[in-house]
Amino acid sequence: MKRKIIFIVLILLVVVAIVFKLSKNKKIIDAKNTLVNNKDLTVPVKVDTVQLQDFNSEMLKTGNVLPFKEAKILALGKSGTIKKMFIQLGSHVSAGQKVAVLDNKLMVLDLQKAEYHEKKLKEDLQTYTELLAGKAATQEKVNTIRQDYEDALNEVYQARKNINDANITAPTSGIISEKSVEDGMYVASGGEIATIVNLSRIKLNVRLTESEVYKIAKGDLVIVTADVYPGKRFNGVVDFINPQADEMHNYNAEILLDGSTTDLFRSGTFVYVHFNNKPMLNVMAIPRTSLTESIQNPFVYIVRNGKVHLQKITTNGEVNGKLIVTSGLQVGDIVVTSGQINLREGALVKISK
């Protein structure tokens, strides 16, 4: 009996000790929370005042020169051996010009066989047509020969086409930039012979971000400069804007330069493209560092009476590190530009210089 009483007393003592410890821990935690959540805590921040500003909205992007057209010269007929190449790297070619010829000896033999077969079937068809008129042949036999004759005509056509395709021609005008085969080399049907680049007009490729692509439109005039021509300015026009972004959320745009630049640039040359050379007057602007999140979800902290308030805003692009604000703020508002990480709605702040 005594053992049972002692055991119960020990259990009670353990329970009391646990309750005491938990109570003590709770007081410590509450004290820490009180310290952290103390509304009297003042956070030092840096600020800027919203004001109307004027900007030159020129957008400068880098790009590179592309050929106006680029085409592969292919062996479109049957496989064969290159008998003769008529081009070299750098050769100027015109659309339709013969650039290579395949050895066509076997093709000529195929044509002779096809023509002999076609001639024989033509004679057979004439003979059996006459026999049918005299009721010495069946209509079925005549139909079979007629079908064979039509197939033979198709074989003759294909054989002649193969001989014609042995003369490989340029699909467009331009300069030979790559040559894949030489005389005596074997090339498969559809195989690549050479590459043509057409620089009759100069095309530039530029990558634009999501915020930039909405600032331009097809037909916009641009100015192009290049390190290889210091001090010179070239006129261009936006010819194409890809509606689909790439994996990096960039949009490709193509610029066409005027015809006077044809002999000045080589494909791959690095250039600068100057967009939208128009002033923006009396627009509200704040430093980009004012944002608490990304430009896709723009919020800022406004300081009023020593406290901060989170404010949703809308923007219309960025110029020289400043965001153009279209709504959500008023001229004279004070926005936090540094220290946002320590802020929450209603927090007290001290403005640092």
Answer yes or no: is pLDDT of 289 > 70. Answer: yes
Averaged pLDDT for residues 79-104:
90
Q: Is 275 exposed, middle or buried (CB count within 10 Å of its CB: 0-12, 13-18, 19+)?
A: buried
The overall average pLDDT reported for the chain is: 84
Distances (CA, A) of 241 to 226, 265, 293: 22, 22, 29
Averaged pLDDT for residues 106-110:
87
pLDDT at 205: 92
pLDDT at 211: 75
Which domains are assigned to the chain? 44-55+281-351 (2.40.420.20), 69-197 (2.40.50.100), 201-276 (2.40.30.170)
Distances (CA, A) of 30 to 23, 149, 336: 10, 101, 31
Q: What is the DSSP string of 145-175?
A: HHHHHHHHHHHHHHHHHHHHHTEEE-SS-EE
Answer yes or no: is pLDDT of 104 > 80. Answer: yes
Task: Provide the whole-model pTM.
Answer: 0.48
pLDDT at 216: 86
Query: Whats the size of the chain, residue-wise?
Result: 353
pLDDT at 41: 83
User: pLDDT tens for residues 29-74?
Assistant: 555 554 444 456 889 999 999 989 887 767 889 999 887 778 899 9
Averaged pLDDT for residues 300-327:
88
Number of helical H runs and strand E runs in the chain: 4, 21
User: pLDDT tens for residues 210-248?
Assistant: 878 878 889 999 999 999 999 899 889 999 999 998 888
Q: Are 172 and 69 in contact (CB under 8 A)?
A: yes
pLDDT at 1: 58
Answer yes or no: is pLDDT of 311 > 90. Answer: yes
